[in-house]
Structure 1
């Protein structure tokens, strides 16, 4: 056990030391209240793990930059808590958070993983980071991502390739794969990612985590390096549904600088934690989207895990409804997404306001620099070619609206609470290969919410002694986060599928 967590006494005898591995907000705060843990010790423990496993050992390569003030901020938290009643801790008091590096944090560089954005020192926190700090959280580090959030493998010119801690020969998904790998490996307690198509839920699925893409309008995007604001959103990546609920409490809210966030203000409950019901699956009708499962030999590992997970949910009182409507993920990917049409406009608007130290002022400048990763260069060139194609863009927006209506009608007609399917029809891609057959398009094309939870693991493999993680996705109606959290929590408690990765064990 790390010496930072040696047991203390409270006058009544010795207490068990705090266990950093798989810690939750609840366990950390319980240890703080009874004197076994300080915020400094918690931060120090994660920094030690980052040093041992991210920069050394297996070199998971998930942390792009550390917050140099993290320990000082922890000391301030400890000083503020001294002498106060134990129950007076702020909701995220002293909790270290990993932030994807396309979200601005004041005083820390924000490059979105791109050498082109070196020198982009944020003058202030993004709106959600302000909310995190007000809730007592400590920004521990900025995480690697697929450069400019424009791919699913989490490779960048700034840091290179992030590894999957369950199989060091595979990617961690993306684009929020640095946050995913870091939270999975216990490099921080909570994580923040962004999602334009799959980018929160993909790393959650690949790293045995919970990842929530909120309803568009529930969480502000101010301070985000954008890919396309019709689809871009920000959300939690955590090791448990309970921590996702706590984190969503902190970040959901209206931001006058992001007008769409006004749509969510009236839908936010007093706390999402009240929906953490272990019996929440009883009576639930879950629509299983058959066309979101593969039928080839490459799909068998995922299908086996999903069949078992769905069977467990049935034993918990859920009714599974087979949905055979011919909804094709590939067709939707090809015909409904608009981020490439918006990328130049939205990215240019962001770049135009940056400090003079940043040499690029437009997407065309980024392309001309020749500095972006090869996997991103083609995406940017495509986006430049699609900018201004207004008729095509409007047609896709109309298809998104038609898809919203189609899905709501389907769920209403069959009295379905959520749709369920594997986030990815085959196991997450090996390094050097692109992701294939991800199913995140329903939420990204509609703006409706979706949550991924750990469903289980494939059979053990030579490079994956625990197996490769498989994620189950629940998709819901607009602002149905309470329903998603209720069902996800009950399923999580029944499945008990979360495991810490073999590549980053507890420090001695």
Structure 2
């Protein structure tokens, strides 16, 4: 059989399965890219998940096929991402395509170099298939942008895909690419993973270089992998990461390891404070209470499965809300989040870099142009323009937030130590992903990992009940937050939990005619 015509099982495809098929000659890089391009043509005009398609993708795939033959003939292992079609969030700079951050004013922005992480991906053999839509400037969570419009959730066209990396997540869930990359300043890798039923991994701060990625906050920004499985996310992360885990060379004990090489129970702390609604009673609607009930049911069923199927070496322990400080989103966002102080200066520095060719060179110029979605941006965009002295890196308010982050880090470290836990677990969102028309996704729990710099991963936990607009239900994601700088350890645990839950499910896409 001609491998270019081989039918590929897109919903269950993983990097190892793909590489096995390349090695035994049952498919080619050209065949997979052709399949994805056909799906993009069919589905993306409705999904609106992508901004740019690589017009050279098939040519690159043909080159990869020649390399495959060379590798196999010389008994050389395939590079880790050889021929893997990858989707990048469009805030990763690439020398051969525009980088817009989803903003109309930057649609013509070019760079003379790739971001460091893109260089790593290319060296590992990937094919950059497309660049994805994102929330305007990556500043919020519904993937609404002036350049790409509103991306739809492939499970429910009446809802958003989360954000800000929602274009990448929707494309991967819809089978338009094999793996992807996104950025995360507060929630942005894990929110769309939760909403679209895939895996999104936020590495520890500093594990992956962010140079060349359109910035928001140097304190909170990370970039990381997204995919259909923890296995694929691990493969991409191993390519993206810049160095070894802190403490690894000093022999820090791994998950569940004791002195002398003996093992102990892995203890996962259930962060009860992150399950229910903490809004004032008068602000609660029947729909919100109903959705939170659904999320809690899905999560408790998932935790019950873990407790039942994991075996004696995994123990769930509840973290009493009275034993730790106030970690509510509203509290942390108002006292510790640094975006509003950093964004203008970080963005201006990026736009004025010698490697950037941009029609605008400052946030002020972009604002004056009017070429952006005013409904999609937040106070992070406007505050420093209105009061540059107050919202700057030199302001007392910024220093106070850095001090608050230090206190928060110590509080979380103390909670881990006092409860003897290896990871925390909680729903990424306390409600379902919002409906189309909203530019704000409230009640997300990702800020704790973002401010403390800890690794966190979101995996599928289950679905809401079926409705007229969501025949399969709406995905609900389970988030695990790990120990400081123990990214590989957290991936090990997440892969095990994923194997217990087995809640990954591809959307039917039948609603797209």
Same fold? TM cut 0.5: yes
What is the Cα deviation at residue 330 of structure 1?
2.2
Q: Which 4+ residue blocks in structure 1 deviate beyond 4 angstroms? A: 264-269, 354-357, 504-507
Task: Name the SS of the counterpart of 1:416 in structure 2.
Answer: coil
The answer to whether the aligner puts 1:459 opposite 2:465 as a matched pair is yes
The correspondence of residues 94-105 of structure 1 with structure 2, limited to 5 A, is 94-105=83-94
Once the two structures are superposed, what CA deviation does each residue of 1:48-95 show, in whole Å capped at 9, x if it has no partner?
Answer: 10001112xxx1010100112211111111112224326521111100
Q: 2:340 matched to which residue of 1?
A: 340
Distance in 1 between residues matched to 2:70 and 2:441, nearest whole Å:
52
Match for 2:316 among 320, 323, 327?
320
2:216 maps to 1:215: no
In structure 1, the gaps of 5 or more residues are 8-16, 255-263, 276-280
For residue 68 of structure 2, what is the aligned residue in structure 1? 81
- Structure 2: tracts of 5 or more residues without a match: 256-262, 278-288
* 1:283, distance to aligned residue in structure 2 (A): 2.5
CA distance in 1, matches of 2:179, 2:83: 11
Q: In the alignment, what sits opposite 1:363?
A: 363
Match of 1:300 in 2: 293
Query: 1:400-454 CA distances to partner (integer Å, 9 max, x unpaired)?
Result: 0111111111101110010110000000000112211000011111111100000
Aligned 1:86-235 pairs, distance under 5 A: 88-235=77-224
Aligned position for 1:403: 408
In structure 2, what is the Cα distance between the partners aligned to 1:505 and 1:40? 28
Query: Contact 1:345/1:387 (CA < 8 Å) preserved in 2?
Result: no
Matched position secondary structure for 1:225? coil
Structure 2 residue 271 is the aligned partner of structure 1 residue 284: no
Instruction: Say whether 1:246 aligns with 2:246.
Output: no
Query: CA shift at 1:126, angstroms?
Result: 0.8
Equivalent-residue separation in structure 2 for 1:331 and 1:244 (angstroms): 31
Contact 1:165–1:504 (CA under 8 A) maintained in structure 2: no
Q: Is it true that 1:52 corresponds to 2:57 in the alignment?
A: no
Superposition deviation, residue 122 in structure 1: 2.0
1:314–1:131 CA distance, 2 compared to 1 (3 A): same
The 1-side partners of 2:185 and 2:30 are apart by: 35
Root mean square deviation, CA, Å? 2.2
Contact 1:154 1:172 (8 Å CA) reproduced: yes
What is the match of residue 260 of structure 1?
A: none
Q: Is the 8 A contact 2:111 2:357 kept in 1?
A: no
Deviations 1:11-38, CA, capped at 9 Å, x for gaps: xxxxxx4322331001111110111111
Number of equivalent positions: 475
2:283 alignment partner in structure 1: none
Instruction: Note the C-alpha offset of 1:377.
Output: 4.2
- Aligned partners of 2:140 and 2:378 also within 8 Å: no
Quote the offset at 1:232 in angstroms: 0.8
The match for 1:393 is 398
Deviation per residue, 1:295-342 (Å, 9 max, x gap): 533311100100000111111132111112353232112211001100
Partners in 2 of 1:377 and 1:164 — Cα distance? 20
